[in-house]
Amino acid sequence: MEMLPVVFLLFVSSTVFANVQISEFFPFGSGTKDTLLHPNDDGSSPVQNISVVFEFFSEHRKQLFVNTNGLVSFKNSISKFTPKPFPNIGALVVLAPFWADIDTSGCYSTCNIWYRESMEPRNTFQAVLITDSKSAFVIYNYNKIEWIASSDIPAQVGFNMGDDIHFYSVEGSRTSQIINLPNLSNVGYPGKFVFRVDLRDIRPAPTPGDPGQCFLKAADIVFVVDMSLSIDIHSLKDLMSDVISELPINDMEC
């Protein structure tokens, strides 16, 4: 079994107890050689070159941007902070774990311990991209959502191809119901969403036992987190085996 490179992307505003615990997130922080996106308002990372092709809506992607306002974009950085409904956002090609007006400019060195410093509403969530350069999956983890909008429009969650046709919007986006993300799921684990994204149509993870599916076994996978740190699947068994064991791979033999 080939190794699956994982592009690890994290947006954090607090660490508080919820359905997907912080301990259940993929490892993050300085110990995993992550790069910190410095505190800012409506900013983004420099372009990030990834070592393997990430298939998104049947198109090859080798670069991405991490944007402060809860978007991962593939063509260019995005400073837009007012979420619009998919697919009505023009040519923006994005993953949206939580598109809202996120401002980290007042955070500085205490970002990782906000929950000890403040009682202000904070959100904690994570997006993970997984691929073997053929099939591609995205995982959204939600630990706590305490605010959904800084204006009158709640957050948009999902994916957009940028062609006004192909998109996927998580139910409740841009409504007050999106605050319930830590209690919702498409894989039976509150706060966790898993999608296959390499095809033209985004597909939620299949229901266990669906006929005609071929599955990748958790015990056969070695993760490469941040494309630099190898973590054996056994050390993540409790975290991911419930999800990875259910991901269909088209080119595997049944």
Rounded CA-CA distance 194/204 in Å is 6
- Residue 15, pLDDT > 70, answer no
Q: Which residues, 6+ apart, have CB-to-CB distance to 109 below 8 Å?
A: none
Tell me the average pLDDT across 201-218: 52
**What is the pLDDT, as a whole number, of residue 156?**
94
Confidence band, pLDDT 50/70/90 cuts, at residue 184: very high
**What is the pLDDT, as a whole number, of residue 34?**
66
Average pLDDT, the chain: 69
Tell me the average pLDDT across 159-170: 92
Residue 57's SS3 state is coil
CA dist list (Å): 181 to 125, 168, 240, 246: 10, 16, 19, 21
**What is the pLDDT, as a whole number, of residue 158?**
93
Q: Which residues, 6+ apart, have CB-to-CB distance to 59 below 8 Å?
A: none
Which tops the pLDDT comparison, 228 or 82? 82
Rounded CA-CA distance 13/206 in Å is 31
Tell me the average pLDDT across 223-250: 30
**What is the pLDDT, as a whole number, of residue 107?**
59
Per domain, the residue ranges of the chain are 4-244
Tell me the average pLDDT across 204-224: 42
**What is the pLDDT, as a whole number, of residue 94?**
93
